[in-house]
Protein backbone atom coordinates (compact mmCIF):
# COMPACT_ATOMS: atom_id res chain seq x y z
CA UNK A 1 0.00 0.00 0.00
CA UNK A 2 1.13 3.57 0.67
CA UNK A 3 4.90 3.48 0.53
CA UNK A 4 5.37 7.25 0.30
CA UNK A 5 6.34 8.84 3.58
CA UNK A 6 7.27 12.16 5.15
CA UNK A 7 10.35 13.62 3.46
CA UNK A 8 9.87 11.78 0.14
CA UNK A 9 9.68 13.69 -3.13
CA UNK A 10 6.02 13.78 -4.20
CA UNK A 11 5.24 11.96 -7.46
CA UNK A 12 5.37 14.24 -10.53
CA UNK A 13 1.72 13.53 -11.30
CA UNK A 14 -0.43 14.81 -14.11
CA UNK A 15 -4.21 14.44 -14.00
CA UNK A 16 -7.34 15.95 -15.51
CA UNK A 17 -10.07 17.59 -13.44
CA UNK A 18 -13.86 17.67 -13.82
CA UNK A 19 -13.60 20.31 -16.58
CA UNK A 20 -10.81 18.64 -18.55
CA UNK A 21 -8.08 20.94 -17.19
CA UNK A 22 -4.70 19.32 -16.54
CA UNK A 23 -3.12 19.62 -13.08
CA UNK A 24 0.51 18.73 -12.40
CA UNK A 25 2.68 18.86 -9.32
CA UNK A 26 4.80 21.64 -10.90
CA UNK A 27 1.68 23.86 -11.15
CA UNK A 28 1.69 24.11 -7.35
CA UNK A 29 5.34 25.05 -6.76
CA UNK A 30 5.52 27.75 -4.09
CA UNK A 31 2.27 26.60 -2.45
CA UNK A 32 1.50 23.85 0.01
CA UNK A 33 -0.67 21.26 -1.68
CA UNK A 34 -3.21 18.99 -0.01
CA UNK A 35 -3.96 16.01 -2.24
CA UNK A 36 -6.85 14.03 -0.79
CA UNK A 37 -7.81 10.67 -2.25
CA UNK A 38 -11.35 9.44 -1.70
CA UNK A 39 -13.13 6.26 -2.82
CA UNK A 40 -16.24 7.59 -4.57
CA UNK A 41 -17.94 10.93 -5.25
CA UNK A 42 -21.33 11.54 -3.63
CA UNK A 43 -20.99 8.83 -0.97
CA UNK A 44 -21.52 9.77 2.70
CA UNK A 45 -17.91 9.67 3.92
CA UNK A 46 -16.48 11.33 0.84
CA UNK A 47 -19.13 14.04 0.95
CA UNK A 48 -18.47 14.71 4.66
CA UNK A 49 -14.71 14.94 4.03
CA UNK A 50 -14.94 17.24 1.01
CA UNK A 51 -17.58 19.47 2.64
CA UNK A 52 -15.40 19.89 5.76
CA UNK A 53 -12.50 20.94 3.54
CA UNK A 54 -14.82 23.31 1.63
CA UNK A 55 -16.12 24.86 4.84
CA UNK A 56 -12.55 25.59 5.97
CA UNK A 57 -11.24 26.63 2.55
CA UNK A 58 -10.55 30.24 3.61
CA UNK A 59 -8.26 28.95 6.38
CA UNK A 60 -6.36 26.86 3.83
CA UNK A 61 -5.99 29.82 1.48
CA UNK A 62 -4.82 32.06 4.33
CA UNK A 63 -1.97 29.60 4.98
CA UNK A 64 -0.95 29.29 1.29
CA UNK A 65 -2.52 25.87 0.70
CA UNK A 66 -4.09 24.60 -2.51
CA UNK A 67 -6.44 21.59 -2.41
CA UNK A 68 -6.90 18.83 -4.95
CA UNK A 69 -9.36 15.95 -4.60
CA UNK A 70 -8.74 12.68 -6.46
CA UNK A 71 -10.89 9.62 -7.15
CA UNK A 72 -11.34 7.20 -10.03
CA UNK A 73 -14.75 8.69 -10.86
CA UNK A 74 -15.48 10.03 -14.34
CA UNK A 75 -15.17 13.74 -15.12
CA UNK A 76 -18.97 13.89 -15.34
CA UNK A 77 -19.40 12.37 -11.84
CA UNK A 78 -16.73 14.71 -10.44
CA UNK A 79 -18.42 17.73 -12.04
CA UNK A 80 -21.80 16.78 -10.53
CA UNK A 81 -20.17 16.29 -7.10
CA UNK A 82 -18.32 19.62 -7.30
CA UNK A 83 -21.38 21.54 -8.50
CA UNK A 84 -23.80 19.97 -6.03
CA UNK A 85 -21.65 20.92 -3.01
CA UNK A 86 -20.00 24.03 -4.50
CA UNK A 87 -16.44 22.90 -3.87
CA UNK A 88 -13.92 25.72 -4.47
CA UNK A 89 -11.18 23.23 -5.42
CA UNK A 90 -10.70 20.92 -8.44
CA UNK A 91 -11.47 17.19 -8.40
CA UNK A 92 -9.29 14.96 -10.57
CA UNK A 93 -11.11 12.30 -12.58
CA UNK A 94 -8.38 9.67 -12.40
CA UNK A 95 -10.16 6.93 -14.34
CA UNK A 96 -6.91 5.28 -15.47
CA UNK A 97 -5.70 5.42 -11.84
CA UNK A 98 -2.32 6.86 -12.86
CA UNK A 99 -2.29 9.46 -10.04
CA UNK A 100 -3.85 7.01 -7.55
CA UNK A 101 -1.18 4.41 -8.31
CA UNK A 102 1.65 7.00 -8.33
CA UNK A 103 0.71 7.85 -4.73
CA UNK A 104 0.28 4.17 -3.81
CA UNK A 105 -3.29 4.41 -2.49
CA UNK A 106 -4.84 1.64 -4.64
CA UNK A 107 -4.99 -1.79 -3.05
CA UNK A 108 -6.95 -4.53 -1.32
CA UNK A 109 -9.82 -3.50 0.94
CA UNK A 110 -12.46 -5.32 2.95
CA UNK A 111 -16.09 -4.31 3.31
CA UNK A 112 -18.81 -6.45 4.87
CA UNK A 113 -16.62 -9.55 4.61
CA UNK A 114 -15.80 -9.08 0.93
CA UNK A 115 -12.33 -8.31 -0.38
CA UNK A 116 -11.82 -6.07 -3.39
CA UNK A 117 -9.34 -3.54 -4.75
CA UNK A 118 -10.10 0.13 -4.23
CA UNK A 119 -8.85 3.54 -3.17
CA UNK A 120 -7.65 3.88 0.39
CA UNK A 121 -8.79 7.23 1.81
CA UNK A 122 -5.46 9.01 2.27
CA UNK A 123 -4.32 12.62 2.31
CA UNK A 124 -0.87 13.89 1.37
CA UNK A 125 0.40 17.30 2.42
CA UNK A 126 3.11 18.45 0.03
CA UNK A 127 5.36 21.42 0.81
CA UNK A 128 6.23 24.34 -1.45
CA UNK A 129 9.21 22.47 -2.93
CA UNK A 130 7.34 19.25 -3.76
CA UNK A 131 8.28 17.13 -0.76
CA UNK A 132 5.78 15.21 1.33
CA UNK A 133 5.31 16.93 4.67
CA UNK A 134 2.73 14.52 6.05
CA UNK A 135 0.68 11.45 5.10
CA UNK A 136 -2.69 11.06 6.81
CA UNK A 137 -4.03 7.51 6.54
CA UNK A 138 -6.48 7.67 9.46
CA UNK A 139 -8.75 10.29 7.88
CA UNK A 140 -11.55 11.60 10.10
CA UNK A 141 -14.04 12.63 7.40
CA UNK A 142 -16.10 15.08 9.47
CA UNK A 143 -13.11 16.98 10.88
CA UNK A 144 -10.48 16.42 8.21
CA UNK A 145 -9.56 20.11 7.85
CA UNK A 146 -8.48 20.18 11.50
CA UNK A 147 -6.28 17.11 10.91
CA UNK A 148 -4.53 18.91 8.06
CA UNK A 149 -4.33 22.38 9.63
CA UNK A 150 -3.82 21.03 13.16
CA UNK A 151 -6.56 23.33 14.50
- Supply the residues annotated as catalytic: 46
Query: Greatest CA span in the chain, whole angstroms?
Result: 44
Q: Rounded distance, CA 151 to CA 139, Å?
A: 15
Q: Rounded distance, CA 144 to CA 53, Å?
A: 7
Classify strands 32-37 and 122-126 as parallel, antiparallel or unpaired. antiparallel
Amino acid sequence: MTTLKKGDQAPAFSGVDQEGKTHQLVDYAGKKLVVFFYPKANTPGCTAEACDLRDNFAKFEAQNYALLGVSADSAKAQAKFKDKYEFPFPLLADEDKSVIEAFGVWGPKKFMGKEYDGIHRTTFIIDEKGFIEEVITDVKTKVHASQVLKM
